[in-house]
Amino acid sequence: MTVGEAIRAAAEALAVEWGRLDAEVLMAHALGVSRSDMLLRHMRDPVPDGFASLLERRLAHEPVAYILGHQEFYGRDFIVTPDVLIPRGDSETLIGAALELAPDATRVLDPGTGSGALLLTYLAETGASGIGIDASAAALSVAQANAEKLGLGDKAQFHEAEWSREGWADDLGKFDLILCNPPYVEDAAPLDRSVRDYEPASALFAGPEGLADYRVLMPQIAKLLAENGTAIFEIGSKQVDPVTRLAENCGYRVRLHRDLAGRPRALSLKLQR
Ligand code: GLN
């Protein structure tokens, strides 16, 4: 079989919306060439040995990003493993909001940093420095690897901490920007198998309404914000009202930000003093 024939067969077998693209990306990975190179020069080559096992993993619903070990976010390439949530295009909304509302922040905090995508993107865009927090040591080593890969090893620090534990933030000081994509999925939400079976549950689920982590974090964040600081939280598209109410009860002024599809995706908060 040729590369071209195998891609066509794989796309059919995958029978998902992006099946053709997934098949091409996996094939290019097996060939060790870029996708555009493959499409231009390698479609009549014999299928490389590695392709079958990559396809098998995708057929078992494993996300392409975990199979390849990396994912693009805001124009940069991030290492990902199953220890971290795969950075999503939706979350780029938070970067856009941060660059608009707090372009000159010098000290940034990213609670629940995972791969480090939010923190490291802001640092790379601006030259600020910051701290990423996560409850998972495995996630933090992915974030650290990403910091080094992006040449941000001296700008980013990572600390292991659980925000459900009293006092986790006591010695961190103040921040002029806090970027946070906490878990916010309802425990019983019908998720795609590629998400539910593969991505870390601790990064996704937040109780019956998906609000548990906002409830814990909102009051704590208020103590960590510098005068005139901005906090930006990712939210689920149906969580505008409850999360806005939580934030207002903690004394924040709240503004809504939409993703490229026009869905509510982030709330930016400033303390009214
Ligand atoms: N947007 C993610 C999803 O639904 C959820 C991310 C999160 O809980 N922080 O796949």
Question: Closest ligand 1 atom, CA of 192?
Answer: 10
Question: Which residues belong to the annotated binding site for S-adenosyl-L-methionine?
Answer: 112-116, 134, 163, 181
Q: What is the pLDDT of residues 37-48, one digit of tens each?
A: 999 999 999 999
224: buried, middle or exposed (CB in 10 Å: 19+, 13-18, 0-12)? middle
pTM of the model: 0.95
Q: What is the pLDDT of residue 176?
A: 96
Q: Is 231 helix (H, G, I), strand (E, B) or coil?
A: strand
Mean pLDDT value across residues 66-88? 98
- Structure tokens belonging to residue 95: 């970067």
Grade residue 32 by pLDDT with cuts at 50, 70 and 90: very high
**What's the pLDDT at 49?**
94
How far the first Cα of the chain sits from its last, in Å, is 68
- Tens digits of residue pLDDT in 6-29: 999 999 999 888 899 999 999 999
pLDDT in tens, 133-187: 999 999 999 999 999 999 999 999 999 999 989 899 999 999 999 999 999 999 9
- The total number of residues shown for the chain amounts to 273
Q: Which residues line ligand 1 (CB under 6 A)?
A: 88, 90, 181, 183-185, 195, 204, 234
ipTM: 0.91
- 70-271 adopts what CATH topology? Rossmann fold (3.40.50)
* pLDDT for 37: 98
Mutate to test the pocket of ligand 1, among 113, 115, 185 (most ligand atoms within 8 A of CB): 185
Please report, for the chain, the start and end positions of each structural domain, with discontinuous segments joined by +.
3-60, 70-271
* Local structure of 232: helix, strand or coil: strand
H or E element, residue 258: strand 252-258
249/219 Cα distance (integer angstroms): 9
pLDDT at 16: 83
| β pairing state of 175-180 and 264-271 | unpaired
Tokens of 107: 């000290």
Helix, strand, or coil (residue 33): coil
Kindly give the number of the ligand 1 atom that is closest to the alpha carbon of 185: 8
